[in-house]
Amino acid sequence: MWDRREPERLEQRIRVERDGTVTALSGKIDFGQGLRTAFAQVVADELDVPIERVNVVLGDTDQVPFDFGTFGSHSVAQEAPLLRKAAAFARRQLIDRASTKLGVSGEKLDTDSEPLTGVIPDRVVLMPETRRKYAGRPTPHVEARDIVTGQATFVADVRLPNMARGAMVRPPARGAKLRSMDDAAARKMPGVIALVRQGDVVGVVAERDEQARAAAAAVEADWHALPVEGPTAEVPMRSDPEVDERLHGAAMRLAQTYVLPPIANAPIGPSAAVADVRADGATMYVGTHRPFGVREQVAKTVGLPEKKVRVLPQITSGTYGRNSHADAAIEAAILSKGSGRPVLLQWTREEEFAWSPSRPEAVLEISAGLDADGHIVSWRYDEHTNVHTAAGLDPGVLGVTSGRNAVPPYAGFPSRVTLHIEPTRLRTANFRSLAAAENVFAIESFMDELAALSGQDPLAFRLRHIDDERFRRVVERVAEASGWTEHSGNRRGRGIACTVYHDTYVAQVAEVEVSLSGAVRLVKVWCVVDPGQTVNPEGVRNQIEGGIQQSASWTLKEELLHRDGRVMNTGWDTYPIATFRDAPESIEVFVEGDESAPPTGVGEPGAVPTAAAIANAVYAASGARLRSVPLTRERVRKAMPA
């Protein structure tokens, strides 16, 4: 399901256009991770053209080859080598044709030549690295100029002739069924074109946005609340022999529980979609991780064959996983079909908080034993959480989704790791790094606690349990870069945390200042990352910095409150995130990829160790060991030693 099976064909990947530009095609989606830039870099290099002449088309279901979706920081790793190969193959064909024509007849090149086609061979001679002009060099986002001038077309910026606006009528809580409704008053309101109902989906289409919202608010709907039942599952992730025996026989033992609340994706741009559904076909302008998934769902919803639905992904607000669900697209399609007009639907801020899927909460229980020499001899880990993906509870992938990074990256001891999936009334799904951020918070906090229990330096203690050379190197390098010392005095302290996320190695040191009141200020972060071969070092740095900044916000500020399936904090005033004032003085990112290793992802790994690095720093600064996030002033104050 994750891999394409069809052979890759050149014409589905690279088109040399009549005007001398090059079109590169991919089913992956750019949410700001810089994929468009990285793809343009490799194609420009192989075809030896200026990067400005490369036009990257992402996710247009009429043009690009099928792709399951953009997840797990795989995109550059999967697609850049493929596009590089395709472009190299195109270049070889162009040169072959040119030499044939020139050699045989001496005629000038024929500009009417047939498009380049063919199965891309496994082995293609690539441009020598010394001749690459873009890959490996810092390259700003190719769409940057359009963005800073306001010209970029985000989903909600799409304007079609005769386009109307939509607004939804929402139930009081998730999973409610519509019993009856009275829309007589709403229908008479100014600008209203249609009241649309399909099953439990109810919405208004009007000429203007405010008119649609006012009419939606005037619909009297009677909802019947149903209890939401969730599935449960237990997944053994790892089960070595002798875990219990060794734990009981250990010289020192420790057991702790770590708790993380649900948090919101909280994109700055709420979900949006434009649908133009007609009797003979539909065109959808959307933000999505899965254009082909949207095509399938929309086709089913409006009763058209898939081939008649074209999905055109637009630039979209960063959503960090939330767009794995096609909510706004499906609703917009229903409204367009019901009104006979192209419809733009953009959710309100309140809807985005209340109805989006969120990152599930997690409770992590860890026990471990150490020998008299301070080596780990046994490790027991139970992860309790909810489903992490839009696909729901799929036993085949639970281990790599909800159980991601539950198995510790350390060596030399037996472990038993079990994932427990429990139901929740909250709607939960994909969020940056899935469960890795939660598991690594627990594991890396616990590593510090074990070091403290046995009187060891947290850095030295980790290094004793690392046998992977690339992992060891990032940890040693971050210590060097930060001038590692656990204490820096004057209410300041430093914490370290590290992990291996989908073969990307990442280690961080955080420095915090903790006031007597318990308020935590993040002062500095150092990060060393090894993502293998690196296409755009500046892009990697930007992604890692962003991951750290976002994760610092999760750790210090964020908690989604809910009761009876209803989200309670639905605005920036009640769900505050980090602002310019909270940004640390510096985030120093050292991109030190092993160039002999294949490229791995960087969109998520930066966000993974930050919570533990901060919590460990808070401990170093104040003696307060926090096992629950967010690290609020009240919690830190309470945990401070008297």
Binding site for other proteins (CB under 8 A): 31-34, 138, 140-141, 143-145, 147-154, 156-157, 159, 190-191, 208-211, 266-270, 315-318, 320, 346, 348-349, 538-539, 542-543, 545-550, 553, 571-573, 577-584, 586-587
Q: Using the minimum distance from each CB to other proteins, give the nearer residue, 209 or 511.
A: 209
Distance CA 7, CA 86 (A): 12
Q: Using the minimum distance from each CB to other proteins, give the nearer residue, 150 or 455.
A: 150
Residue 107 phi/psi, 5° resolution? -70, 160
Residue 302's alpha-carbon distances to 297, 329, 432, 476, in angstroms, are 9, 11, 31, 56
**Both tokens of residue 400?**
């790599």
Tokens 């493929």 belong to residue: 82
User: How near is the Cβ of 290 to other proteins at its closest, in Å?
Assistant: 18
Distance CA 267, CA 213 (A): 21
DSSP state of 456: -
Residue 396 phi/psi, 5° resolution? -65, -30
User: How near is the Cβ of 575 to other proteins at its closest, in Å?
Assistant: 10
Distance CA 322, CA 207 (A): 28
Q: Using the minimum distance from each CB to other proteins, give the nearer residue, 236 or 571.
A: 571
**Both tokens of residue 579?**
């602002």
Q: Using the minimum distance from each CB to other proteins, give the nearer residue, 15 or 170.
A: 170
Is 639 within 8 Å of 626 (Cβ atoms)?
Answer: yes
Q: Using the minimum distance from each CB to other proteins, give the nearer residue, 14 or 522.
A: 522
User: How near is the Cβ of 70 to other proteins at its closest, in Å?
Assistant: 13
Q: Using the minimum distance from each CB to other proteins, give the nearer residue, 344 or 500.
A: 344
Q: Using the minimum distance from each CB to other proteins, give the nearer residue, 315 or 421.
A: 315
**Both tokens of residue 235?**
């997944």
Buried-exposed string 197-227: b where 16+ CB fall within 10 A, e elsewhere: bbeebbbbbbeebebbbbbbebbebebeeee
User: How near is the Cβ of 223 to other proteins at its closest, in Å?
Assistant: 24
Q: Using the minimum distance from each CB to other proteins, give the nearer residue, 350 or 564.
A: 350
- CB-facing half-sphere around the CA of 355: CA atoms within 13 A: 22
User: How near is the Cβ of 204 to other proteins at its closest, in Å?
Assistant: 16
Distance CA 497, CA 458 (A): 9
Q: Using the minimum distance from each CB to other proteins, give the nearer residue, 12 or 433.
A: 433
DSSP string, 488-553: EETTEEEEEEEEEETTEEEEEEEEEEE-TT--EEEEEEEEEEE-SS-S-HHHHHHHHHHHHHHHHH
Q: Using the minimum distance from each CB to other proteins, give the nearer residue, 71 or 89.
A: 71
**Both tokens of residue 115?**
């498009």
Q: Using the minimum distance from each CB to other proteins, give the nearer residue, 189 or 254.
A: 189
User: How near is the Cβ of 144 to other proteins at its closest, in Å?
Assistant: 4
User: How near is the Cβ of 317 to other proteins at its closest, in Å?
Assistant: 4
Which strands sit side by side in the sheet containing 192-198, from one edge to the other? 192-198, 201-206, 164-169, 343-346, 272-278, 281-286, 309-313
| Of the candidates 348, 351, 336, the residue with the CA atom closest to the CA atom of residue 194 | 336
User: How near is the Cβ of 157 to other proteins at its closest, in Å?
Assistant: 4
Tell which phi-psi region holds residue 330, choosing left (phi > 0), alpha (psi between -120 and 50) or beta: alpha
Q: Which residues contact 108 (CB under 8 A, 6 or more apart)?
A: none
Is 523 within 8 Å of 474 (Cβ atoms)?
Answer: no
User: How near is the Cβ of 136 to other proteins at its closest, in Å?
Assistant: 16
Q: Which residues contact 66 (CB under 8 A, 6 or more apart)?
A: 4, 6, 27, 292
Tell which phi-psi region holds residue 484, choosing left (phi > 0), alpha (psi between -120 and 50) or beta: beta
Q: Using the minimum distance from each CB to other proteins, give the nearer residue, 555 or 622.
A: 555
Q: Using the minimum distance from each CB to other proteins, give the nearer residue, 26 or 33.
A: 33
User: How near is the Cβ of 383 to other proteins at its closest, in Å?
Assistant: 26
Residue 187 CB-density burial (10 A; 0-12 exposed, 13-18 middle, 19+ buried):
middle
User: How near is the Cβ of 186 to other proteins at its closest, in Å?
Assistant: 16
Q: Using the minimum distance from each CB to other proteins, give the nearer residue, 320 or 526.
A: 320
Distance CA 62, CA 283 (A): 10
User: How near is the Cβ of 272 to other proteins at its closest, in Å?
Assistant: 9
User: How near is the Cβ of 640 to other proteins at its closest, in Å?
Assistant: 28
User: How near is the Cβ of 386 to other proteins at its closest, in Å?
Assistant: 22
> Residue 292 is inside which H or E element, if any?
helix 291-302
